[in-house]
Chains A and B, each alone.
Chain A
Amino acid sequence: MTQLESVIGLEVHVELHTKTKLFCRCRTDFGAEPNTQVCPVCLGLPGGALPVLNQKALAYAIKASLALNCRIAKEITFDRKNYFYADLPKGYQISQFFQPVGTKGYVEIEVDGKVKKIAIRQLHLEEDTGKLIHLGGILSSPYSRVDFNRAGVPLIEIVTEPDIRSAEEARLFLQKLRDILRYIDISDCKMQEGSLRCDANVSVRPAGSDSLGNKTELKNMNSFRSVYQGIEYEINRQRELVMRGESVLPETRHWDEENEVTRAMRGKLASADYRCFPDPNIPPLKVDSSWVEQLADSIPELPDARLKRFVEDYGLPLRDAQLLTGSRELAEFLDATLAHYRQPKAVSNWIQGELLRLLNLENMGITSCKVKPQDLGRLLEMVDKGVISGKMAKDIWEEMFASGKGPETIVKEKGLVQISDENILGQIVAEVIQENPNSVKDYLGGKKKAIGFLVGQVMKKTKGQANPQLVNKLLREKLTEGS
């Protein structure tokens, strides 16, 4: 038996976070009451369906195309995909077939330590459909309720070439795609909320063959995990069929999350004739090249480039760099902090430790964090200069996090400046030695750990403001002097 390889292509739908819909000025707010964000255009009322393109949505699609290394069309057109379904108000969906926004792009993923390019066939704009609310299950429901709030919300669809060879590659691609799209700030990309959706075309063939086997279209994978599991399951299912000499039916299959299997969807076998043709209501749009340049300039450094820079320029360990570049905001926080305080590893540690700890504790995103990067820089600088201790820094940090005040202000308000004056500390150290003869005896008798107790006593007397290194030094000096 020859080896079988799997061939996978993905179709990814991403909801753009514009304020209004793709072709009308209805809001796109999530969670609005049903059918309160609709108008004659998105409801497809007779005489009302005259679409006017949302310029922001096009700008987002161009940015996404640029970030995914696509060629940008000089002229784009919109086309009608005709079919009947209850969530489709006009009887056709406006999409792009003939002249999409972006073509021939790629995304790089790392597979077994090697960079692999996944080619992107095209990236186009299209409108979302409405939502069906079934009473009970879809099979048992006697009728369905239709909410058209989502109808007309702008989506981009990203179609890959069948370059993906495993469920793991699919997952890596999707994660990389999400990171990139979040970086350029065009979508929330939340799979659970449906702002990122992924369908997979899966087939198997003898390894090395150029021909494609019958493919199934896999739907309803609502998390990165289910994308992995669904594809993995489907590959194995198809392999077993082929091994048994049976054929794979070209059909649409549904990932059943609960039972962890894929199931054929009824009535989806016949390939539909969508009769796509240019929508006469939307004339072709010339894409201005200077506008594209402007949009290109607005694209921030993307995750791969930033990762490279963090490792090479900042000298951060790969693990740190990966974690920090996983979020555009965290990475930008690091960059901004380093502009004031150039100790990459220290800042990286602080962000991964203290900042993430508090964010997780408060269940907050970095965007709502009140601390300014330069304030973190100054806080760490104060530790370096011995103005405050590391322990004090953590207390001050909590206060900074809660109030957004600068570290100096907090230090001043609370009188928290570290005591580093040798004269003052010398006196206190002398007092502590006098008051604790037993510990002194222990120390001198060889129990070196006893010094910890004495340091603690000094800290207690100074309400924690004594410079601990200095206290240590003075204690040792004084204890050795006396012996």
Chain B
Amino acid sequence: MHFSREEIQKAAQDARISVSAQQEEELLAELKAFPLQEDFFLRLQKENVEQTCYGPVEENIMASDEPGASLPLSEVLQNAPDADESCFLVPKVVE
């Protein structure tokens, strides 16, 4: 598979991960070695095969609209890197 450096940087940015020049190099190499048969994929594009997006699944599972337990506030915030007495805190949203 071949991707440009810009495409890798854009994908990394969309995933909110920064990529060093060295990592970019490694990633390019890994992608190049990826054993995807491009011809086969091109052929597949023209074939009318349905997509499989799920594991084997059965009948619908739905839930009735009956309230269940929520987490106690102490457990909600127990793992938060930054919080006040009732809310999670995040840095300012405007860049």
Are A and B in direct contact (Cβ within 8 Å)?
A: yes
Which residues of A are at the interface with B, using a C-beta cutoff of 8 A?
A: 18-20, 24-27, 33-40, 43, 52-58, 84-86, 132-134, 138-139, 141-148, 266-267, 273, 275, 277-278, 280, 283-286
A37-B84 Cα distance, complex, nearest whole Å: 17
Given A142-B92, A273-B14, the answer on whether A38 and B71 have CB atoms closer than 8 Å is yes
Task: Check B62 against A36 for contact (C-beta < 8 Å).
Answer: no
Which residues of B are at the interface with A, using a C-beta cutoff of 8 A?
A: 14, 16, 53-55, 57-71, 73, 76-77, 84, 86-95
B60 (CB) vs chain A CBs: closest residue: A285
Q: Which one of A20, A37, A144, A275 contacts B93 once the chains associate, using CB atoms below 8 Å?
A: A144
B53 to chain A: which residues have CB within 8 Å? Answer: 277-278, 280
B61 to chain A: which residues have CB within 8 Å? Answer: 52-53, 283
Q: How far is the CB of B12 from chain A (nearest CB, A)?
A: 13
Task: Check B68 against A25 for contact (C-beta < 8 Å).
Answer: yes
Task: Check B92 against A284 for contact (C-beta < 8 Å).
Answer: no
Query: A-B pairs with the 3 shortest C-beta distances?
Result: A25-B68, A283-B57, A145-B87
Q: Which one of B86, B87, B90, B94 contacts A139 once the chains associate, using CB atoms below 8 Å?
A: B94
A281 (CB) vs chain B CBs: closest residue: B54
| Residue from the set B57, B59, B92 with the largest chain A CB neighbour count within 10 Å | B92
B90 (CB) vs chain A CBs: closest residue: A86
A139 to chain B: which residues have CB within 8 Å? Answer: 94
Given A35-B73, A43-B76, the answer on whether A146 and B89 have CB atoms closer than 8 Å is yes
Q: How far is the CB of B82 from chain A (nearest CB, A)?
A: 8
A103-B17 Cα distance, complex, nearest whole Å: 38
Q: Which one of B16, B59, B65, B89 contacts A56 once the chains associate, using CB atoms below 8 Å?
A: B65
A280 to chain B: which residues have CB within 8 Å? Answer: 53-55
Task: Check A33 against B89 for contact (C-beta < 8 Å).
Answer: no
A278 to chain B: which residues have CB within 8 Å? Answer: 53-54
Task: Check B91 against A143 for contact (C-beta < 8 Å).
Answer: yes
B68 (CB) vs chain A CBs: closest residue: A25
Q: How far is the CB of A202 from chain B (nearest CB, A)?
A: 24
Task: Check A55 against B62 for contact (C-beta < 8 Å).
Answer: yes
A25 to chain B: which residues have CB within 8 Å? Answer: 63, 66-69
B64 to chain A: which residues have CB within 8 Å? Answer: 55-56
Task: Check A286 against B60 for contact (C-beta < 8 Å).
Answer: yes
A39-B76 Cα distance, complex, nearest whole Å: 8
Given A25-B63, A25-B66, A55-B65, the answer on whether A141 and B92 have CB atoms closer than 8 Å is yes
Task: Check B62 against A19 for contact (C-beta < 8 Å).
Answer: no
A26 to chain B: which residues have CB within 8 Å? Answer: 67-68, 70
| Residue from the set A27, A54, A280, A283 with the largest chain B CB neighbour count within 10 Å | A283
Cβ contacts A to B, 6 pairs, < 8 Å: A18-B65, A27-B70, A43-B71, A144-B91, A277-B53, A280-B54
A23 (CB) vs chain B CBs: closest residue: B63
Q: Which one of A84, A142, A145 contacts B88 once the chains associate, using CB atoms below 8 Å?
A: A145
Task: Check A52 against B14 for contact (C-beta < 8 Å).
Answer: no
Task: Check B84 against A145 for contact (C-beta < 8 Å).
Answer: yes
Given A35-B76, A35-B77, the answer on whether A27 and B67 have CB atoms closer than 8 Å is yes
A273 to chain B: which residues have CB within 8 Å? Answer: 14
A146 to chain B: which residues have CB within 8 Å? Answer: 87-90
A143 to chain B: which residues have CB within 8 Å? Answer: 89-92
